[in-house]
Structure 1
C-alpha cells in the first residue's frame, strides 16, 4: 500500500540536484501504523532496550561529524565516470539516511506520550540519521550540487509497511549498512592511496551508529514473540533477507565503477557484505539463508545480469512496446532465480541456539 503526498513542482534552484527517478532500487520513504507500535508490549526485553537507549542518549558521535581542513579544497581532480559514480553514491546514501530520519522522527513524535522509552530511542536515531544526511549533503556541495531535502519530504511517494515489516527491514538495513561501511573503511585503511575524498575516514564511527540502531531493532524484535516464534515469521524473515540481499547485489553491480575507483572488487565486496550480514542476522532471526549453497551467489549474479540488461533496454531508442516485450524475459529470469533462492533450505538459528544452551 502506497500513498502519494501532494507533489509541488517548484523549479529547482541552481546547484540543487534533481532527485533520481524512483525505482524499486532507489531508497524509499516509509510510514507505518503508529498506534500499533505504541501498543507494543516490550516488557520481556525492557532492560536490554533501556540499556541501548542509554547508549543512544550518550551520543558518542556528537563531535565526530565535523568537516576538517582536508575538505577545504577544490575537487575538480575527481572527474569523469569516477565523479559521476561518487555523486550517485552520495545522493543515494543521503536519501536513504534522510528517509530513516523522517520515519524515526515521526515515530518519536507519535509515541512521545504513549511509550516514552521507544519515543526516546526513535528520537536519538532520528538525530543520527539527520546528522548523516546533512554530512553527505555537504559533501555533495563540494561538487557544486546538493539535495533539497524539504522538496524530497513533500514530493516522494511514502510506502506503508506494517510495524513488523518495518522492524525486519530496518534491522536489516542498519546491519547491512554497518557491514558496507566497515568493510569499505578497513579496505581503505590498508590502501590509503585509494581514499580519494576525506568522507571515507568517517565511516568507522558512522557504522557504529548503524550498529547501535540495529541492536535496538534486534531487541525490539525479540521482545515480540510473534516476530520470530512461529512459521509465518520464518517465512517473512527469509523473504526480507532475500529482498535485501538481491537489492544489494543489483545496486553493487550497477555501480562497479565506484568500487573500482576505491580499488574494491565489486563481486567479492558484495559476497562479503551479504555473508557477514547473514551471520549477524542469526542473532535476531529464527532462520537465515544458506549463503554457502553453491548456487546462492550464482543466482544472485544472474539477477544482476538481467537487471543490467533492463537498463540497456531503457537506454535504447526503440518504441515503448518493443522495450516492454524485450524486458519480459529479464523480469521472468529475475523472478525465477528469486523463487529458487527462496526455496533453498534455510539455516535454523533457533535450533542452534537451543543446542548451545
Structure 2
C-alpha cells in the first residue's frame, strides 16, 4: 500500500510570489537541444503530413477557450486547507511544465527561422499554446494569492540538454500522456460534479486537445526519421523512453495521491488507466509498445513508487546528510532494479498491433 504524503505547504517569497519547489527527479525539467542538428533534420518523407499538422495548429481552435468567466469570481478561502495545498502544488507543477515547453519551443522557433521556416512556424505555434496554458494556470494560482515568478524560473532553473531524437521521443510522450491525464480527470468530474471544487477542471476537455495536436506533430517528426523507428536501436530507445515516462508518472501520481483523493480518484486506478491508454496511443508512432498487461508490469511501477516514497520520508527526517545517503542507497538500487526488470519484459511489436486493429 502507498500512503499519501502530507500535502506540501506553499512557500511564499514576498508579495504572493511563491518560492519554486526544490528541483528533484520528479519536478518538471527545463530542456535545451542541439539546434544545429535540429535544423539539419531531413523531413522530406513526411512533408505532406507535416504541412497538414501545422495547418491544424494554425487553426488555433482554442483561441477563445482560455477565458475566465464569472465562476472564478468568488472567495476560494472556503476550500479546506488540505485540498487547497494539494491543488496549489498541482497548479505549480503544471504551470512549470507548460512554461518549460514554451521556453523550449520558443527557442527552437527562433533558432530555426532561417534554416527550417516551416518547422520554425510549428514551434512558434506550439509555444503560443504552452504560454497560454502556463498563463491560465498562473492566474488560477493568483486566486489563492500566489503566483510563480516565471522570469526567475527562466534564469535560475537547471537546463538539461537532450539531442533532437531524445527531445522528439520525450515530448511526444509528454504530450500524449498529458492528453490522457487531462481527459481522464475531465470525464471523471463530468460524472461526479460534486468533486469540481474549482472551475479550472471544466477547461480540461478542450485543453487536452492541444496536447493531442502537439503530440501528433511530434509523431510526424519521429516518423520522418527512419533511424528512430526502423532500426533495432530505435526500438530500444522507444522502450526506454516509454518506461521512463511511465515510471516517472507513477512516482509522481503516488507521491501526490492527496491531490487525486480531493477529486475522488484512486491514485493507483488513475495511474494504471493513464499508462495503459498512453501505451496504446504510442503504437501509432513507436515501433514497439510495452506489455502493460504483463502480470509484473503495473505492480512493478507501484513498487518503484513505494521505494520512492521511502526515499522522500528519509529526506524529510532530521538526520545528518551522510546518514541519509547511506539509508537511501538500497532504495535507489531497488528502483533501478525494478526499472531493469520492467525494461526486460518482452515488448509488443507496434506494427503488428496496428495491423490487427486495421
TM range (shorter): over 0.9
Distance 1:320 1:63, change over 3 A: same
Alignment of 1:129-278 (within 5 A): 129-278=130-279
Separation in structure 1 between the aligned mates of residue 308 and residue 87 of structure 2, nearest angstrom: 21
Q: CA RMSD in A?
A: 1.2
1:288 paired to 2:296? no
Q: Is the 8 A contact 2:283 2:354 kept in 1?
A: no
What is the Cα deviation at residue 14 of structure 1?
1.8
Number of the residue aligned with 1:3: none
Paired residue for 1:54?
Answer: 55
Equivalent positions of 1:24-173 (< 5 A) are 24-173=25-174
What is the deviation of 1:38?
1.1
Task: Specify the SS of the correspondent of 1:76.
Answer: helix
Counterpart for residue 306 of structure 1: 307
Task: State the Cα distance separating 1:352 from its structure 2 match.
Answer: 3.8
Distance 1:79 1:116 in 2: 50
Cα shift at 1:354: 5.9
How far does residue 13 in structure 1 lie from its aligned partner after superposition?
3.4
Q: Aligned partners of 2:250 and 2:92: how far apart in 1?
A: 18
Structure 1 residue 12 displacement after superposition: 4.5
1:309-345 C-alpha deviation (Å, 9 max, x unpaired): 1111111112212111111111111011000000000
Structure 2: distance between partners of 1:64 and 1:307: 38
Q: Deviations over 1:222-246 (max 9, x none)?
A: 0110111101111111000011000
Aligned to 1:18: 19
TM-score, length basis structure 1: 0.95
* Mapped partners of 2:70, 2:324: distance in 1: 49
Q: Deviation string for 1:84-103 (max 9, x for gaps)?
A: 11000000000000000000
Deviation at 1:152, TM superposition (A): 0.3
Residues 182 and 208 in structure 2, CA contact (< 8 A), matched pair in contact too:
yes
Once residues 70 and 150 of structure 2 are traced to their aligned partners in structure 1, the CA distance between those partners, rounded to angstroms, is 26
Please list the CA deviations of residues 234-260 of structure 1 after superposition, one character each: whole Å capped at 9, or x if unmatched: 111100001100000000001111111
Counterpart-to-counterpart distance in 2, 1:26 and 1:12: 19
Q: CA deviation at 1:81?
A: 1.5
Alpha-carbon separation, structure 2, partners of 1:210 and 1:243: 19
Structure 1, unaligned stretches of length 5 or more? 1-10
Structure 2: stretches of 5+ with no match in the other structure: 1-11
Deviations 1:14-35 (CA, angstroms, capped at 9, x unpaired):
2000100001110000000111
Work out the CA distance in 2 between the residues paired with 1:137 and 1:232: 40
Distance (Å, rounded) in 2 between the aligned partners of 1:354 and 1:297? 26
Cα drift, residue 350 of structure 1: 2.3
What is the CA–CA distance in structure 1 between the aligned matches of 2:262 and 2:327, rounded to whole Å?
Answer: 32
Question: Could you say if the C-alpha distance between residues 268 and 354 of structure 1 is closer, same or farther in structure 2, counting changes exceeding 3 Å?
Answer: closer
d(CA) in 2 for partners of 1:12, 1:297? 40
Bigger CA drift: 26-35 or 314-323? 314-323
Deviation at 1:355, TM superposition (A): 6.8
CA contact (8 A) 2:284 2:354 kept: no
Kindly tell me the number of residue pairs found equivalent between the two proteins: 347
Alpha carbons of structure 1 residues 325 and 181: separation in structure 2 relative to 1, 3 Å: same
Give me the TM-score of the superposition, normalised by structure 2: 0.95
Q: Helix, strand or coil for the counterpart of 2:285?
A: coil
Does structure 1 residue 337 correspond to structure 2 residue 338? yes
